[in-house]
Amino acid sequence: MPNAVPALREADALPQPYLLFLGDIAEPGYAKTAFGLRDWARERCVGEFACREATITTGLPRLTPARARALGARAMVVGVANPGGRIPPAWLPPLLEALHAGLDLVAGLHARLGDLEPLRQAAIAHGRRLIDVREPPPGLPLASGRKRSGRRLLTVGTDCALGKKYTALALARALRQRGIDADFRASGQTGILIAGRGIPIDAVVADFAAGAAELLSPDADPDHWDVIEGQGSLSHPAYAGVSLALLHGSQPDAIVVCHAHGRERVLGHPHYALPSVEETIELALRLGARTNPAIRCAGVSLNTGGLDDDAARRAIEDAAARLGLPVADPMRGGDAFARLVDACLA
């Protein structure tokens, strides 16, 4: 099948394995890049490194850059997706330490590694590379709105950092396990680091974002599924524009709405209440119908990571009864997830 999604150029192929850098964060939701690589590319991760102030851990061995290099690491990946994608001054010493130890630096932040003069000079002095994966391809088109061949599923969220990427990865894997031709389509930095290709939608100039989403999921065989990683939330006070462009450009035949059980306030914007799952479904279907009138909601992905098994089962069953839709936690799998996959294919 044709594959127009930009891949990392051979000259820019990521040096592996990785040491994961956690910065100085104390909010797990901002460490989603590190957790994503740990969970979906564990064989490429030798350990983690962080500032003293950090309270988050991936559970991987805590290593200095020098020790990680001795164990075979070739790059340190900034495993943080913080608000605004910035590199604070407190990160410079550990980033410089990695360069001095012989590691390349890889990041997916809005801030560019090479724009920081101390990092640029150290990289030159030590013969190391500064690699930014949040770099859109050149020549992106305006959206055409043209219906493309093949079938598409988009994960949509009630908020940021609650499971859209994990859900898309799990669904794409489940489809392939059933013998269905399916691809995971990465639209954010972590997904691109995992898949080796994709387009960072939130780094695209706004006028071209929907066109980038069209390019992300090109024409395909009629039975082929593209499972597209969602971004942000249509109700988010900062990121709704990215979410809408991805919804319009991807033209999904089906959506799976993702929600974190128990979350009540928007991450990073606690003065905003989280929209309900019902409201999110209604809004996504209404807006998505603009470019695909046949759009439907296949079900709900419920992140129950904070619950024990019994409480998670009850939460999933209660949500399914209330919504009248399949509800599952893809990371727990089981019959509930199998029913969600069935509904995606219906």
- The structural domains of the chain, ordered by start, are 10-132 (3.40.50.720), 151-345 (3.40.50.300)
pLDDT greater than 80 at residue 238? yes
Whole-number average pLDDT of the chain: 95
Q: Higher pLDDT residue, 71 or 134?
A: 71
Q: What is the mean pLDDT of residues 133-160?
A: 95
- Residue 107 near residue 91, CB atoms below 8 Å: no
CA atoms within 13 A on the CB side of 112: 7
pLDDT greater than 60 at residue 26? yes
pLDDT greater than 60 at residue 287? yes
| 3-state class (DSSP) for residue 155 | strand
Per-residue pLDDT tens over the stretch 106-122: 999 999 999 999 999 99
pLDDT greater than 60 at residue 284? yes
What is residue 268's predicted lDDT score, i.e. its pLDDT?
86
What pTM does this model have?
A: 0.90
**Which two tokens mark 80?**
């943080």
What is residue 12's predicted lDDT score, i.e. its pLDDT?
61
| Residue 336 CB partners (closer than 8 Å, separation 6+) | 316, 320, 326, 327, 328, 329
| Residue 103 CB partners (closer than 8 Å, separation 6+) | 19, 65, 68, 69, 73, 74, 75, 76, 128
What are the C-alpha distances in Å from 88 to residues 80, 296, 344?
12, 42, 42
pLDDT greater than 70 at residue 162? yes
What are the C-alpha distances in Å from 157 to residues 139, 168, 288?
29, 12, 14
What is residue 290's predicted lDDT score, i.e. its pLDDT?
97
Band of residue 5 on the pLDDT scale cut at 50, 70, 90? confident
What is residue 283's predicted lDDT score, i.e. its pLDDT?
98
- Residue 95 near residue 105, CB atoms below 8 Å: yes
What is residue 8's predicted lDDT score, i.e. its pLDDT?
62
Distance, in Å, from the CA atom of 2 to the CA atom of 109, rounded to the nearest integer, reads 30
What is residue 3's predicted lDDT score, i.e. its pLDDT?
60
Report which secondary-structure segment, H or E, holds 121: helix 117-126
pLDDT greater than 50 at residue 1? no
Per-residue pLDDT tens over the stretch 193-226: 999 899 999 999 999 999 999 999 999 999 999 9
The fraction of the chain above a pLDDT of 90, given in percent, is 90
pLDDT greater than 60 at residue 133? yes
What is residue 9's predicted lDDT score, i.e. its pLDDT?
56
What is residue 83's predicted lDDT score, i.e. its pLDDT?
79
User: For tokens 């901002």, what's the residue?
Assistant: 30
What is residue 82's predicted lDDT score, i.e. its pLDDT?
83
